[in-house]
Amino acid sequence: MASPATHILNREAIPEQRGALIIPNRFSFHDLLLLEKILGNRSLVYLVEENAATDPHLAAHLEREDVTALVFTRSAESAKALQGALESHLDTEDLVVYVPGLSLTRQGSLTSVPAETLEFILSAGVPTVPLFIDYLRETRLSIERLADTDLIWFSFGALLEGAAVSLDNYRENLLLAGEAAFNQRPVLEMHLSRALLEGLKHNALSSRVIDGLDEGQMRFDKLLAVAIAVSKVIRQATRKDRVGIILPPGRAGIVANLAVLFAGKIPVNLNFTGAKEAVESCIRQADLDHFISVDAFARKVQRFPWPPNKQITFLERLIPRMKLRILYWFALSKILSSGALASLLGIPARGGDKEAVLLFTSGSSGEPKGVPLSHRNLLANVNQFGARLNLGVEDRLLACLPLFHSFGSTVTLWYPIIEGVTMITYPSPLEAGKLAQLVKHYKVSLLLATPTFLRGYLRKAEPKQLASAKLVVTGAEKLPRKVAEEFEKKFGKPVLEGYGLTETSPVTNVNLPDPDPDPADPGLPILPNARPGSVGQMLPGVTVRISDPDSGEHLPLRKSGMIWLRGANIFKGYLDKPELTREVIAEDGWFKTGDIGRMDADGFLYIEGRLSRFSKIAGEMVPHETIEAAISKELGLDTEQERKIAVVGIPDESKGETLVLLSATDDLDVTQLRYKLLESGMTNLWIPKKIVKIDPIPVLASGKLDIKACETAARRG
């Protein structure tokens, strides 16, 4: 087999006339040989930790007479000696390369170096260059051919000097180097429709869609033929660029989305649980004049502002009349290669930054905002998420999250089709009893939910029903610790919290189980892949920075502040809202999430609150969720099961904002509550001055607090 192609990024970060310490995120014997070739004109010295497990080939290389190796131990006494040895070599313009010891971690991890080792080495304070080594074949999509993926990137981060040499700065610049490497992946330029077509053909016989309502199954080859046949009708039905889809998860919803894309148009899955005004706003913003649904669903969701029937393609009326055309496309798709079939359908090879799908934010804090996600955004996120999960064709995924939700769209629709994971669909995530039956019957591997839906499993599912689940991943809202603890206690499955936003396609972080110990070497250190209370480590290709919410000053990663994200999965801006776009997207592509948080030493991100859930009172940032927790504790409320209170801020002329407590509890006296909170140590500034009775507390279908409705209630009260 030919040697992998090696690409070098930001080589200029290495100083030419002086020495520097290079700290890679990983380092194999093969990496050493490549680095020696890349830096062949420089004198290299290797830094090795004493007694660290090392690859035998690499260890043999370091023992050669013509190789210089520095050996250190991690202790307070040896720190000064390490600093002196490093400075001595750097003074002679040597490049010192740290050689990490062997450790265990999961596929797609960003580093194999323990944080405590990094911090010790960086304490020497010498000029340091982070190095991100990325092997594409290890995290490639299954549709990428090996010939196209046998690539390696050596991506150097910025040179750190003086006071800038710290663990936070090293990690931040390593993430930037990783982002630069990830952005080079050829698949990011691919067209989403082409990727889906490749996935359907590649897994034609091994993967399928199983409808949990009637147990009907559709193999991927049949799904492809039906979607192509329907796409021909959709192409003729409208001249508009976008097509509305009003369907829950299921075979019809999957066919509709594929058909719209194969027709060369953009799917817009509409929130059929939303308020009439919000839905009408989405239809207007997306400029829709044609929709796809089924009769049974139209009868069931009568509150939805349905357009005239002449503007709707009803799939169960259409598909039975197309048997011959479906058979024709089934046969043709078997004969033709994916490239030839794509050419026949007019599917471009490249999509890049063009709009692929249009989603809308939930509208929890205002009118829904259109979020156009590009082909690059979605393929990046499928790759990022898939690289960490590492599921195969033998695995099965429960697809019950709404298709209008970014989590449901990317993770339970595009991802399984491209990667060939069989989907068990069900139209509602709320029927936990039925879902648990499906998990057991079909041996589901991946269970995706929100904390609201996990509570349903706690009430209605039995432990044996979820026995097959390898991973239970939650997102969309903060995971209450009590829910996580009760779920693990009952089912023996840890709940792995992730994080993402519609604007990030959506996943940027996820906790995952630690790898199993190596039976051949049980002493190998295991790097953590999960940390309770966090939303996990960054996915490949996503980088983060923290800033002061008021001044915008760049802060160290371990200080709490506004979270900014950048990566190939981040959207370019809101639909027809340039002012709003400028508020959240910086010129250099950084996205302002609106969430407050920090990162710990091991790279786990902690979300401490939404900026919209803070009030600025007398110059101080006041966190609503912290106050809610304190009030719930004083009142003995079980907020893990049902939301009974909410704190919101409304304008106040003298102090900027004032806090209002919305309550669904009876006989709550503001004066008594005030005394209780003061006695508990809460500052006067944080105590709500007014209580407004409202039952129930407004929440969205996802379980998130409906901030807009809460603020309206607070003002009226």
Q: pLDDT tens digits, residue range 668-698? A: 777 888 878 888 888 887 888 888 888 888 8
**pLDDT at residue 702 in the model:** 61
**pLDDT at residue 238 in the model:** 96
**pLDDT at residue 433 in the model:** 94
**pLDDT at residue 623 in the model:** 78
Per-residue model confidence as pLDDT tens digits over 21-55: 999 999 999 999 999 999 988 999 999 999 888 88
**pLDDT at residue 701 in the model:** 65
Answer yes or no: is pLDDT of 404 > 80.
yes
**pLDDT at residue 2 in the model:** 46
Torsion of CA 446, 449, 455, 457, to 10 degrees: -30
Give whole-number Cα distances, 343 to 181, 203, 326, 349, 456, in Å: 30, 20, 18, 9, 46
Instruction: Tell me what percent of the residues of the chain surpass a pLDDT of 90.
Output: 68
Average pLDDT, the chain: 91
**pLDDT at residue 376 in the model:** 98
Report the DSSP beta bridge partners of residue 152: 6, 135
Per-residue model confidence as pLDDT tens digits over 453-473: 898 999 999 999 999 999 999
Arithmetic mean of pLDDT, 642-664: 80
The answer to whether 188 and 568 have CB atoms below 8 angstroms apart is yes
Q: Please, which pLDDT band fits residue 5 given cuts at 50, 70 and 90?
A: confident
**pLDDT at residue 554 in the model:** 96
Arithmetic mean of pLDDT, 515-524: 83
**pLDDT at residue 264 in the model:** 97
CA pair distance 572, 574, nearest whole angstrom: 7
Q: Please, which pLDDT band fits residue 521 given cuts at 50, 70 and 90?
A: confident
Per-residue model confidence as pLDDT tens digits over 583-636: 999 989 999 998 999 999 999 999 987 766 777 676 666 778 888 888 888 888
The pTM is what?
A: 0.88
**pLDDT at residue 691 in the model:** 86
Beta strands 5-9 and 422-425, pairing class: unpaired
Q: Which of 129, 187, 122 is nearest to 157 (CA)?
A: 129
**pLDDT at residue 124 in the model:** 95
**pLDDT at residue 1 in the model:** 40
Q: How many CB atoms lie within 10 A of CB 684?
A: 9
Report all structural domains of the chain as residue ranges with CATH numbers, in order of start. Answer: 5-184 (3.90.190), 192-510+533-538 (3.40.50.12780), 543-609 (2.30.38.10), 618-716 (3.30.300.30)
Query: In 243-374, where does DSSP find H-type helix?
Result: 251-262, 276-286, 295-300, 315-318, 323-335, 338-345
